[in-house]
Structure 1
Amino acid sequence: MIGLQEMILIGEIVLQSKIAKRAAERLRTAHENFDHVETWCSIQSILVAAGNVSKVLWPSDKYKIRGQKLRQILKIEKNNPLSVRKFRNHFEHYDERIEDYFECNTQGAYIDLAMNPSLTSGIFGDVPLKTHRGYNSFNNTLVFRDETLDLNEILIALDNVLNNCKSYSRTVS
């Protein structure tokens, strides 16, 4: 990988990290203003930006070496939460998730885009089993069916990557 290519890819990581950071700011404001659409728009922006960073750092097999080199340069740990794109995929391929769900379930109940306080209405505070996508602003977590993603962990990981990018650019300049 040549120096210019490295700089362009690191620049993309910086841009996507800043997009996610700005979306997180919008998410707080949107929820405070009860703006349902902007809340989900912001969540989706965070997931997409984090997914884009993930694809640069953990690319397909064809570009595997590039990903390894960038992770090494930016001192990114193996267990970084950005390496997992499952939640981004749930949202990006939501149409497929709906098809799969209804192949196995014939019930009429389908709770989607659940917001507080509906997330705590299950037995003993658990998320109701029929919740497909949900957002809990009290702890900044997302729910997709029986899975939970802590957006704070993703945002912290992006911030750490962003700081590593800044440190790298100081050593190069």
Structure 2
Amino acid sequence: MEIITAEELELRASQTAKECGGIQPMHTPFYTLSISYSAERCLSAFDLYEHLLENNADPASLISAVQEAVGHAGALSRYFWPSPTGKRNNQYELKFARGKKLREIYKIGEDSPLANRELRNAWEHFDEKLDSYVLSNDAGCFFPTPIIDSHTLADEPIGKIFKLIDPNNHCLVLLGKKFFFEPIRAEVERIFIRTSE
């Protein structure tokens, strides 16, 4: 395999961004298959969650299934909204052109649940969030183990929720913060259907 120089890679990135809108036509199937994979894995994790819920699984297992689904949804969202980090060069510009083109192909608006990175970041940076949580909360009733209950418990001023799943409202509470995950699931289902059109 020929090794491409950094200069050549930058040139190709520039041409692809400017002339093709971020994706060369012959490369579209690579993105479609990758998007389909992430969407399918996300939906499989949500199906596992439903199965576990029907079989009265413990809270930790339910939260784990939602966490897996959200992780795959996060991977999916990066195709459409790439990370803003990185060296400002042609490859940087290419990833944003690619994201825009894919949003057009899949008819995804800026109001998509996948555009909100809050839940994904809550999992990806959980260790840092946990540091802040324990340093910020020094009084109250703490619930350090995962629980199944109403998300309204997180509204109590003295209640300190570590991890809670509210199946009736499709809500996950992490470190006292609520995340409603059903809109994510619905959007991923819609995208998955489009990958097979």
Number of aligned residues: 164
Greater shift after overlay, 128-137 or 67-76? 128-137
Match of 1:170 in 2: none
The offset of 1:113, in angstroms, is 5.0
The letter of the residue matching 2:29 is M
The counterpart of 1:89, out of the listed 121, 124, 127, is: 121
1:103-126 CA distances to partner (integer Å, 9 max, x unpaired)? 32323743245433364557xxx4
| Contact persistence 1:112–1:134 (CA under 8 A) | no
The counterpart of 1:104, out of the listed 132, 136, 144, is: 136
Report the Cα distance in structure 1 between the residues aligned to 2:151 and 2:144, rounded to whole angstroms.
11
Match of 2:88 in 1: none
The answer as to 2:43 corresponding to 1:11 is: no
The offset of 1:74, in angstroms, is 1.5
The structure with more radius of gyration = 2
1:23-45 CA distances to partner (integer Å, 9 max, x unpaired)? 11110121232333431221111
Instruction: Normalising by structure 1, report the TM-score.
Output: 0.82
The offset of 1:53, in angstroms, is 0.7
Instruction: Normalising by structure 2, report the TM-score.
Output: 0.73
The letter of the residue matching 1:98 is L
% identical equivalent positions:
24
| Root mean square deviation, CA, Å | 2.2
Distance 1:89 1:106, change over 3 A: same
1:44-101 CA distances to partner (integer Å, 9 max, x unpaired)? 1111111011011100242111100111112111210111121121122211111112
The answer as to 2:191 corresponding to 1:165 is: no
- Unpaired segments of 5 or more residues in structure 2? 1-22, 85-91
Which structure has more RCO (C-alpha within 8 Å, separation ≥ 6)? Answer: 2
**Matches for 1:1-173 after TM superposition, within 5 Å:** 1-36=23-58, 37-61=60-84, 62=92, 63-107=95-139, 109-112=141-144, 114-117=146-149, 119-121=151-153, 126=155, 129-167=159-197
